[in-house]
Structure formats: C-alpha cells, structure tokens
Chain A
C-alpha cells in the first residue's frame, strides 16, 4: 500500500524555532507544541528540492521510468504535486512528466462501458459530449473542481491518486461503481474504486503503478444520479458534498459523501419517501463522521447536500 508517505517522512516541522534545545523553561514542551502546531499550517512555500525530470514519449517509457527510478513520481497536471513540492512536503527524486501522453487523454463509450483515460483533464471531462449524455452527474461534478484554470490542467488520474478527502472525483468514482486500471512496467490490475481509497491522501496505488484509465458502467436507463456540494466560495474545496444514486426498480439506492471524513463514504440505504424521514436517515449516517473543524455544522451540511443530491436525482437533473 502506498500511504502518502511524504507526509510521514517529511513531517511538517517548525523551521522558525531556532535551536529549541536551548529553550530553558519548565513549560518548554507546551510552548514548543504550539509553535509546531501553528506553523505546520502556515509553513512557507519555497522552491522544490532538487529533482530529475524525464518526459517519456509513450506509456511504456513512462512505466519503465517509474520502475527504474526509486522515489520517482508522475507529474500530470501538477495542480497538487507542485504545491506539495514547493512546500517541501513532497521530495521526489525524479519527475516523470506524463502530461503530453495524448493516448491517455481519451474518452470513449462502448458496450455499456465508459472508458476515461487517466490523463483526461477536469475541464475536458466537464465538457465532453458523451459524458454529458451518459453520465451527466460526472460532467457536473467535474465542473465544480476548483477554478477553470485548475480544471484545464488537473487530471482524473492525478485527482484519484492524490485522494484529497474533499475532492469531487474520487467520490464520483465510488458513487458510479468505477473500476480503476492500474498499470506498472510488469503488471496490470483492476481495482474497484471502493477498494482503492484507503483514507486521508492514501490509496491502494503501489510503487511503480499508474492509473491509466477508469471504466464506469453506463447506468441502467431507470437509474438516476444527483450531485450537490457546498463550499464557502465558488471554486473552493467543498465543506461537504454528496452523490445520490437512485437505481430504480429492484436496485439499491446509495449516497456517497466527500469532504466529511478521510475519503469517499458510500452508504446504501432504502431512501425514505418523506422528507423528514429521509433527513433523519441522512442524519443518522452522518453522525458517524468526525470532521475536524466545526463537526456539528459539517454534519449538518452533509445532510443538506445529501438531500439536495437526492432532489437532483429524483428530478433527473444531473
């Protein structure tokens, strides 16, 4: 399992406490803790540590480069990786730039399955005609990722691999029953989205592996999806978001949340007809979550976005 190791090996530490050893005080630890706590967050951006850069011409070269360089990292849209490197929270030895691999940036629909390349940009996903037709909910969610400039660069593979708990697309994959295709120089395997996300910035991606594509079953004709999220400002990461799936006769209905815990949270439920009962159901489920900041409000928002997503789904709007 590849946890987000950089967070552990390069723990944010305070660079402003100069020679703590010499702090002579009985409440040294208390004060020191405070310093660390505060300035891990306000840590300063700088230039990234030294790294090698390679730009492979095709997928095979990319996978080989990933295998042959210890601590190499893929560079896709760079919208998460570059900031992490600038904060020195990530220090890859080699960047394997896959941003030009057009072969990975395709979208197709065949035999009841949607195939989306790992390098498809968020804006491309948002605007794609086929996606709008068969997975309107995904188109809508992709349009909510950050701002336009970020969507022009950020990629599906990058977002899924980064696995930010408040990201739209990882949860979309879970909600839509996606399967990820993970390839390395010597192997390939498929992992259902629900098994891929393991927690805060942590996934099942192994060293040397790349998300080359995902496949999503075209929903049954009577299945409906809804999506809603809430952020303080347009374009900010969501404080809470939800997808609701109404699968129609005989199927299971489900809600998939994001932004309320360490990763996508899918819960099956038989959705009540009455609004108040439904709110009660969502509320019970949301109780499990333990968001760090403003827990009561965030749990409330979880209920609200779930209900909004439900309404969207019912009306077949998304």
Chain B
C-alpha cells in the first residue's frame, strides 16, 4: 500500500505534538528556567590521551559568581557510567582517553562566568602517544587504553565451511568497505536542568531514551536511592540513539546537589560535537562466492569497529553488525567475525540502525558485484538467494516466521523507476560507456536533455533489521491505563518522545483499541514519577510494546469500565460499550451522547477508579544466541540518481522504499520515519563524516559538517508499506524508526555504479573519486 494522503482516510492526521513543534511554541527541557538557577559547564580534556598530573581549581573557585567546581574527588560513589559496562569516568582521575573526557564542572551565575572559570582551572597533562585507529590499537606495542587491553568486544558466527565452499564457487568477490563517523546532528544539543527538591530528592529534566536507566546510573554515581531521583525526559529535540547513554546529567546533578540550587547545562554545538557519541566507523572485509547460477555458497566477513575511548553500547552494536552481515539471504557457509576496538577517538555508540547500516552497505555491495560478474540482473540475483518464510534467523536462531523479504523484493517490481521487470540479465543501460570511464561495465544512459556528462542510473538494495534488544538482554515491557478523577483516560508508558512520533502512535492505538476519542486521553510518558516500566525507547521497539500492552490491557480495562458503568446506570453490562466521550448503550448507538461520560463515571465512582496494567517482555528468540532477535522488519530501496561526471556530484532523484513491518498505525508518522530516515541515510552516503586527526575532531560545528538540506533530498519518495503479516502472527506492528535508514547507502551506490560505472566501497561517496575514475578528470569536458 503506497502511503498517500488521499487514500489514508481519517488516519491521515498530524501528530498531537506536531503543531507546537513546527510553530516553535513547544517548550523543551532545555528551555526550562527555575528561580535561583545556576548555569553549569564542563571542562573537557585538552588532549586525546594524557596522564593527568594535577588539577588546580583554586583560582577558578575564587572568581566571583562561581558557586561550585567539582572534580573526581567530589563524586560520592561510582565515578563511572556506561549502559552495559560502566567504564567511562564521570570526571577523569589520572588519565584522559579522548578530547571529550570531563575534567571538572563548574556552576556559576552565568554561562560567561562559568566559561571564564573553566579557563582559570589549571590542568597539568602529560601527553601520551595517541591511538588513532583500530589497526594501530591492535598492534603489540600499542598503549593499553583499558586494563583489559584495547579490544572491547569480539563476536562471530560460523555455519558450514566457508573456506572449503569457496572452492566450489564460480565467482568470488572480495572487497573492503569503509563507513564514516556519522554525527547524530539532533537539533537540540544535550542539556536540561537538575533541581534539588525540598525533601532531599532531585528532579532531572533532561532528554534521554530510557528514564529508568538514567535513574539507575545516576543513583550509582550520586549514592542516592533510585526513588529519590525523578527523571523527566520528554520531549526532546531529537536523539537518534545519541542520547540513550548519559551525557551531561551527572554534572548537572552533582552541581545541583553541591550548591542546593537548580543547575542548567545546555551544551553548545561545539561541546556536543566534542563529547557526544557518533556512529561507529567500520572497516568491513567481505569475501563472497557464488556458483554459476548465482547461488551464494560462502560468505566470509571480518568487521573492525572503531569504538573510541569507552564502551557504552559498543559490544551490542558489534553483535548486531555480525548478526546482520548476511542480509536477508540464505547462505549455507558463513564465517563472520568482528572486533570492536578502543582508540583515542571520540566515543562511538548507539545510532539509528545500530551497526546494521554499515554491514548492509557491505553485503549488498557484494551481491551487486556478484551479479555484475555473473551477468545476472541484480533483482534476480537477490531473488535466487532470498530467505524463505520459515527459515531460521541469521544466527541460526528461531524467529517469528516472516515473508517480509519476499514481499519487499516483489514491491521493487512495482516501482515506476525500476526498469528490469523482465528479469533479463544485466542492469539498465549496460554498455554505452565504453568510450570513457573506468571500464567497469554498467554505464547508464545519458540524459535525453542533451547533457551527455550527466548520467542517470537506478539501483536497489534490501535490508533485514531486528527489533528489540535481543537474546540475553533484559527487555522488560509494559504500560498502564487508568481513569483519572477528571474523567480522562490516562495512558502511561515509560517511553520518551524523541521526535519519532510516539505520541501519535499511542493516541492512534488507544483510540482505535479502546474506543475513546483523542480528547479523552491523557498520555503520560517520559517521567519516572508517573510512568510504568516499558523498557528503553530504542531498537524500534516502542510501537510494538504500545500495541502489545494495549491489547493485553484491553479486556480487563473494558470489563472494569463497563462493570462500573453498569452499576451506575443500571443497564446490563452486555449492552455497554466504551466509545468516544464515555460509555455507550449499544442499543442506542444513534444517541447524541454516551449514557455515561467518562467524567461522570469518574466522579460518581470517586474511589477505586478503573485501572489496568501490563507487564511482559519484548518477544525474544527461545534459542540462547546472544543478541539474536526474534522479530525482524524488511526494507527495499530503489534509488535513482543523476551523476554529474564533470563535478562528481550526485543528485538523488528518487528514493523509494518498501517496508514490511506489519500494520501501519499512524501513516503520516510512518511515512515521516521512512522519508526522514532516507534523508539521514542519504547524508551518510553522500556527505557526512567527522574525520579525526591524531585524536582531534576536524569538525566543530555544522559549518564544515554537511548534512542534507531540503535541496539535497529527492522530491519524490514513495513509501510502500507492506502490512500483511503471516497468518497467526500475534505480534502486530513492528517499529519503523530505523529500517528506513538501513538499505539506502547500498541502493545509492548501486545506482551510481549503474549510472557511470564508479564502484563505491567507501562512504561518503567522494565526488573527487568519481571524477578521477574518468581518467585525468578532464576527459568528460569533451562532452560539454
């Protein structure tokens, strides 16, 4: 089903938080101002790797307007944080490992005084040799960055005998792919306010993707019981995975406790670039072989991820990359290994796609190369290798049966720009480029406009993407419904609105399942004082959790509400239904109002108001395979590009996506996730990278970090939502927050190859290299 406003009916409506966001009237947590509030700032390391000889804050402390300066000595309990293994110092004690490491933090009357104070802090560093990349980190004599060395994590998976099977292959392709250090580039940088309350507790108003886990981490640092910490974490101006880990919460909390006053920290963009997470740059080596009919027999993969100075979710990202390195294909012989390596670079962590985007670029590149070598149409090549509905998961684990892969592949045929419906061998326009170019075969057609230096090409790619945290990781889920004294139906989830449109999903599901109207709802999220545990707002899981929770709560909720209404109205319970505004008499549905409004019900009941709760775990595979997923979504991308051979610039004209993720809940949000995800991935493919030299960021702001603007994204994006699940599938809608980013890079790369013969193995695709692939670069001029 193509998502189009015309065909969506009533469900095509803006998200509840949309108008306030686009008009700028929505207050974010970083907009909060409290009486008596101080401003906090954090001093970050001047060196990527050094011993700390001394930290002298005396002079800074004497600066008028300074209220506190804290160092590691002031951390009450655990001076570390990190979601899986807390190894990142809140404040460094004796050593710094990257330029974002915190040395001390100050609270002052104004930001200017705070900045000034940090300048007065005297830090004596003894610089150490800098470990600039994973390769260097793995050498014998590399400085050890952590007690256990420089390897954060190894992961791997084997099936059959890949090495032996290579001998049976007619073609083998071998390539090393490289992907960039992408920045999340959320509009709202990290920040918010921590308020010390009268009862000795604190309230933390800062964006995150899992309030309860922030609470847990902060409790360890602050030596406070968890119940004395309230996390208000919604709304926020974007996260994309980047704010799942703690960032400035500990500093504001420590300063607030030290001064007894509210402390606001809001990082500047430069501070954010320097200290916050990025996407793992990966080097992925693949050797893949197929028989003459195009059946892939063997696939050898080696992944090296630069995880930077500290762990955060580095291990899980690597596990995910290993799991998804086969794509949605049946490959009998597999040998996959990965290593995530500490360096003195910025910390890499969670980022929309979670390691899948990097390996999908690589594995889809392999499929394209094999198809080209064998002269098989790239669509057909994929069809021949595609997984079947009942197949096991990529790690050999049992998964929820799904024909999503076949569905999205089939959808490509419906795309108006995909020309190869015939299944005939060879990509579009093969052959015409023999006169110029790299001679690598496929060359798209010149434009009909008489601009022979512009070439159009089409490419496709597939992706398979697990949702939920995976086997072996606690993945609690839940929700709560309650009738409030004012008659509103409170729908509460321990999730955050990070920009993904969660409020719209909750509103849509609550109204459609529970019968009430949007106005009847009071949606509560992002506040540990009032929400139940739902797990993290990550891993494309929230929509599914909301769906499952509401379905689980529905029967008891309805029963309790109807029973209460029956008692109050004297009507038999069987006749009563929950509907907009209240409880309706099913024999008088034509009435202009319910027999009992929710408000009257609440007022007349006054005590023991109906409530329902759900507690469960996110569906996971029964097989003990660490990180292995159970629910998967699938995506197919068709990209059409226009390459300017003279400048190397690439215009993406279309970026159509077919997504198999179960029923669409909120069409506008669904399309928004896929279109927006596509744009973000377009940046990953064509322009985004934060290079580091000797441990220093080469980029400090958006002046030199290019992200796509509206002028760079395609005017036409078709989103084809495949809603049918296999009969009997009880799990409902899967999330679509990530899948729209996963297969974009390989589709664009294939389209570029199709257009001009340039084969990209490194992202972002370099215009310079495209030009160079055409000889000395000026060869194309003759076409002008």
Contact = CB atoms under 8 A, between A and B. Distances in A.
Interface stretch (A20-28, A188-196, A199-207): A20-28
A308 B709 contact: no
A27 B127 contact: yes
Contacts of A294: 768
Interface stretch (B456-464, B568-576, B700-708): B700-708
A308 B700 CA distance: 34
B125 A16 contact: no
B124 interface: yes
Given A275-B784, A307-B781, A16 B46 contact: yes
Interface stretch (B89-97, B114-122, B434-442, B496-504): B114-122
Interface string A23-45: 11101100100110011011111
A35 B778 contact: no
22 contacts: A14-B46, A16-B44, A16-B46, A19-B123, A22-B122, A24-B53, A24-B126, A34-B693, A35-B46, A35-B47, A38-B697, A38-B698, A41-B704, A42-B270, A42-B697, A45-B270, A232-B649, A233-B709, A297-B648, A297-B768, A297-B777, A304-B646
Contacts of A275: 781-782, 784
Interface of B: 43-44, 46-47, 53, 112, 115, 118-119, 121-127, 268, 270-271, 273-274, 646-649, 687, 693-694, 696-701, 704, 706, 708-709, 711-712, 767-768, 771-772, 777-778, 781-782, 784
Interface in A136-154: none
A112 interface: no
Question: Which of A15, A19, A43 has the most chain B CB atoms closer than 10 A to its own CB?
Answer: A19
A14 B778 CA distance: 41
Contacts of B648: 297
A43 B269 CA distance: 11
Contacts of B121: 18
Contact of A230 (B53, B647, B687): B647
Question: Which of A22, A45, A300, A301 has the most chain B CB atoms closer than 10 A to its own CB?
Answer: A300
A198 B119 CA distance: 37
A304 B781 contact: yes
A151 to B, nearest CB: 15
A17 B46 contact: yes
Question: Which of B47, B273, B687, B772 has the most chain A CB atoms closer than 10 A to its own CB?
Answer: B47
Interface residues of A, number: 44
Given A31-B47, A233-B706, A235-B711, A23 B124 contact: yes
A303 B781 contact: yes
Contacts of B112: 46-47
Contacts of B708: 233
A42 B273 contact: yes
Interface of A: 14-19, 22-25, 27-28, 31, 34-35, 38-39, 41-47, 230, 232-236, 275-276, 279, 283, 294, 296-297, 300-301, 303-304, 307-308, 311
Given A23-B125, A303-B781, A41 B768 contact: no
A182 B543 CA distance: 65
Nearest to A231: B649
B735 to A, nearest CB: 31
A279 B457 CA distance: 27
B784 A232 contact: no
B700 A18 contact: no
B700 A279 contact: no
B687 A307 contact: no
B641 to A, nearest CB: 16
Given A24-B124, A31-B47, A304 B698 contact: no
Nearest to B696: A38
Given A18-B123, A34-B696, A232-B706, 7 more contacts: A17-B46, A31-B47, A42-B273, A42-B699, A42-B701, A234-B712, A300-B771
